[in-house]
Amino acid sequence: MDKFPRVHRLPPYVFAKVNELKMQMRHEGADIIDLGMGNPDLPTPQHIVDKLVEASQKPANHRYSASRGIKGLRREMALWYKRRFGVELDYDQEVVVTMGAKEGLAHLALVMLSPGDVVFAPDPSYPIHPYASIIAGADVRRVPIGADRDFFEDLELAMRQTWPRPKLLIINYPHNPTGLTAEIPFFEKIVDFAKDNDLLVIHDLAYADFTFDGYEAPSFLQARGAKDVGVEFFSLSKSYSMPGWRVGFCCGNREMVQALTRIKSYLDYGLFQPIQIAACHALSGPQDCVREIMDIYQDRRDALCEGLQRIGWDVTPPKATQFLWAPIPEQFKKMGSVEFSKLLLKECKVAVAPGLGFGTYGDDHVRMALVENRQRINQAIRGMKDLFAKG
């Protein structure tokens, strides 16, 4: 691997230790309740699937498509932003379709960054947020994030201690894995900070619709001046339960969108066109399916949080995302997140994601994904109850 410098810069995959144990136990016949990976289990709404089937019957749709996405899909994304957030987007210059937000974010980092550039990313964070920049050859400075911290104080401290000055800030609200949320004034402070420090901003809005208890997640692009400094990624993976379809968007700052559009023209021919046509139907068609999906996840959140609290695990129900960011109980805290995750797997047959996999500041937490039904969640609670009783 030393011959491949971009691979060599990537650290060992923290989740691998837990995943290997999980696969070994499954091979031995264990029934594992898997709350580890945030892989949506609910089916894609039928009207979207029907449109895919219809479009795939037409041979003209089997040809190469457009690397930046068909015009109709870019237009529907712009209309979605207008309806949803009141944000005006030029679908020809300020919207590009990506193969999921992850691919788009990685390629945008590749086109923006050079070796020696510095990027600010939260810690903990979803791995692609820092590692897209690392793969591109940049250096990442991790900024702590948490319910008990002031992000702007930590950001200012990082700025004072960093040279050369950072080029890019990557943020994500609602936040994976912590579930932290933001409001428009927060984003306006981000815009002001970016302008004051000559920074560009990437915001990941993957969980725009994954909101509970009346909370509504704003768009970064709603903040005044946001398009001057940054872009936002959104995908259909979570909102429409379309993770395997790989439909995402980068929207906002014209220069950043066009840079991503340009590099994609060299790298791919775009998504299979019937998928893009079905994605248009998802955005423009009935939207009640989105709330129905979210109601199921809210019920799962309630079942998980209420069950954990019953057995003595003090957790706070998240207002957003499909995850619970759970502090490791005091009696197990000294183990750290990897060993505690392995303990839950061995003793309770419950798989969770160790917080260390999201950054060093996450090592006192584990992340649980709401990807099992209520019955299986209750089964997981029963399995953990005995472990907590033993202490």
What is the pLDDT at residue 70? 98
Cα–Cα distance measured from residue 278 to residue 160, given in angstroms and rounded to the nearest whole number: 48
Q: What is the pLDDT of residue 7?
A: 83
Contacts of 391 (CB under 8 A, 6+ apart): 331
Residue 126 has a pLDDT of: 95
Q: For residues 232 and 172, what is the distance between their CA atoms, to the nearest angstrom? A: 9
pLDDT in tens, the chain (391 residues): 568 888 888 877 788 888 899 999 999 999 999 999 889 999 999 999 999 999 999 999 999 999 999 999 999 999 999 999 999 999 999 999 999 999 999 999 999 999 999 999 999 999 999 999 999 999 999 999 999 999 999 999 999 999 999 999 999 999 999 999 999 999 999 999 999 999 999 999 999 999 999 999 999 999 999 999 999 999 999 999 999 999 999 999 999 999 999 999 999 999 999 999 999 999 999 999 999 999 999 999 999 999 999 999 999 999 999 999 999 999 999 999 999 999 999 999 999 999 999 999 999 999 999 999 999 999 999 999 989 887 6
pLDDT of residue 15: 84
- The predicted structure's pLDDT at residue 29: 95
Closest among 346, 339, 340, 345 to 326, alpha carbons compared? 340
pLDDT given for residue 390 in this prediction: 74
How far is residue 106's CA from residue 104's CA, in Å, rounded to a whole number?
5
Name the β-bridge partners of 353: 367
The pLDDT value recorded for residue 9 is 80
